[in-house]
Amino acid sequence: MSTVLLQIIANDKLTGDNNIKWKHKINAILVTKDLKFVLTEECPPTPTAHAAQRVREAYEKWVSSDEKARTYLLASMTDVLITKHEAMTSAFEIMELLQAMFGQPFEQKRHEAVRSVMLTRMKESTSVREHVLNIMSYFNTVEINDMTIDEPSQDSKGKAGEANVVEPSSSNNKKRKRSVGKAKGKPKPKKAQSKKKGTSIDKSKGKCFHCDKVGR
C-alpha cells in the first residue's frame, strides 16, 4: 500500500456518521486500483486440476484483488469497526455488513446518489483527474447499492426543467379565429355608394326622347 493511499485512508476513517463520505472515498480508491469489480462480480468457481490456464488466472486474479480490497476497507476503519469486520472473508461481505449497520432507506440513498451525479460540476480549482474520479465514485456508489439511474429519476429532473418553459397557449389562437369569423358576418360599409353621391345625375332633368334636349 503506497504512502499516499495510507495518508488518504488515515485522514478520514469510517466512524459511522461519515458513512457516505467514506464510501465515496473508498470507491475512488478501489476504482484507481482496479479492484472495484470484486464488489459487483461473484468469485469464479474454484478451478479443477484440469482447468484451462485462463480459468485459473481469472480465479487467482479475483481472489488476489478481493484480498487487496478487503485490506483497504479494514485499514480505513476505526479499531472498533476493524474488530467487528475482520472476520469477514471478502470485501463484499464487509460492505454488506456496513450497509446493514449504517445504511439509509433505499429511496433516500437513490435520491442522494442521483443528485450527486446530476448536480456535480467541475470547480475551477479542481483538476480534471480529480473531477473524473469524483464522478466515477458517485456512479460506483449507485452500482454498489444495487441502484440505477433509471428513467423515473431522469424524468423527474427533466420535468423540473420543463416546468420553467412557457409554451404558447392555443386559447389566443382560438379567440383570433372566432373574431375573424364574426367579422365576416357583419355588414361592411358600402364605400362605392359614398363616391356615387357626388357624381349622380338628377333624374328629374333627363333628356327628351323627341328633341334630344335636357329637360328643365
**Average pLDDT score over residue span 146-171:** 44
What is the pTM for the complete model shown?
0.48
**Average pLDDT score over residue span 196-206:** 51
Q: Residue 214: helix, strand or coil by DSSP?
A: strand
Closest CA to 98 of 14, 6, 9: 14
User: For the chain, what is the mean pLDDT?
Assistant: 72
Does 191 have pLDDT greater than 50?
A: yes
Does 134 have pLDDT greater than 70?
A: yes
pLDDT of 109: 62
Helix intervals (H) in 76-105: 79-85, 91-102
Q: In the chain, what percentage of residues exceed pLDDT 90? A: 24
Does 189 have pLDDT greater than 70?
A: no
Identify the weakest region by mean pLDDT among 19-28, 66-75, 180-189, 204-213: 180-189
Residue 101 CB contacts under 8 Å (≥ 6 apart), including other chains: 16
CB count, 10 Å around CB of 51? 15
Domain ranges of the chain: 3-153
- DSSP state at residue 37: G
Q: How confident is the model at residue 13 (pLDDT cuts 50, 70, 90)?
A: confident
Does 82 have pLDDT greater than 80?
A: yes
Does 105 have pLDDT greater than 60?
A: no
pLDDT of 177: 44
Does 178 have pLDDT greater than 50?
A: no
Q: How confident is the model at residue 15 (pLDDT cuts 50, 70, 90)?
A: confident
Does 172 have pLDDT greater than 50?
A: no
Q: CA-CA distances (angstroms) from residue 11 to 4, 14, 15, 34, 77? A: 11, 10, 12, 22, 11
